[in-house]
Amino acid sequence: MSSPGVSRTEQKERTRRAILDAALSLAEEGGLAAISLRQIAKEIGIVPTAFYRHFAGIEELGLTLVEESFDALRAMLRDAREVRGPIADDRELFLAVVDRSLEALVTHARHSDRHLRFISRERIAGPTVIRDAVRHQLQLVESELAADIGRVPGVTRWSSEDLLVLADLIVNAMLAQAEELARAGGRTDEVRQIAARARRQLHMVLIGALRWDSSR
């Protein structure tokens, strides 16, 4: 896979990226557990031993895909929660965060649909170490969200446990919608319907949550 005028470092990074992309594509059929490094090597035109210059094995490759699948998503959702401008009350703040988060999710699904399908598939059917890695990343997303919710003045009466319960509800709802968005493949009408349903669902959850009091 060498190219004229490309440094060894650049070529190594290109090959590494090609391995990751090939794994994402091949895993679409039967999941990460069903592919081998020989398949990946054949897909991108390298000898199987060259794979080990980049990853110790399929497991390490899978963990890398989990990490990069979540990095961009977490960054987008974190930015979406930074609502700017005047906000009338806690309810308006929550709903504005939901709307911005869904917009970020739709954008992410459009550009990273294979990564979202990877998360969706491997968190249920992947090897144990990959399922655990996905679960850990989801817990990080939930913890960040719970911390952000906890800074809203109107929810000071909630316990830390209840904040995590709400964050878990929101993250799982958004993940379900993300999976649908990824399967929609950019079909505009379908994406619009999924986003509208997700918005209604999350608005219902948050409007109800604003009435919650952990001391009861």
The pLDDT value given to residue 81: 66
The pLDDT value given to residue 48: 92
Per-residue pLDDT of the chain (216 residues; tens, 9 = 90+): 555 667 888 999 999 999 999 999 999 888 999 999 999 999 999 999 999 999 999 999 999 999 998 887 777 777 666 655 555 566 777 777 777 777 877 777 777 788 888 888 899 889 999 999 999 999 998 898 888 777 776 666 788 898 898 888 888 888 888 778 877 877 888 888 988 888 888 888 877 777 777 877
The pLDDT value given to residue 89: 61
The pLDDT value given to residue 2: 52
Tokens representing 79 are: 């930015």
206 close to 94: Cβ distance less than 8 angstroms: yes
Q: How far is CA 79 from CA 84, 100, 149, 161, in A?
A: 11, 9, 14, 24
What are the structural domains, with CATH classification, of the chain? 1-55 (1.10.10.60), 58-209 (1.10.357.10)
Rounded CA-CA distance 100/85 in Å is: 13
The pLDDT value given to residue 61: 96
Q: Is 127 left (phi over 0), alpha (psi -120 to 50) or beta?
A: beta
89 close to 152: Cβ distance less than 8 angstroms: no
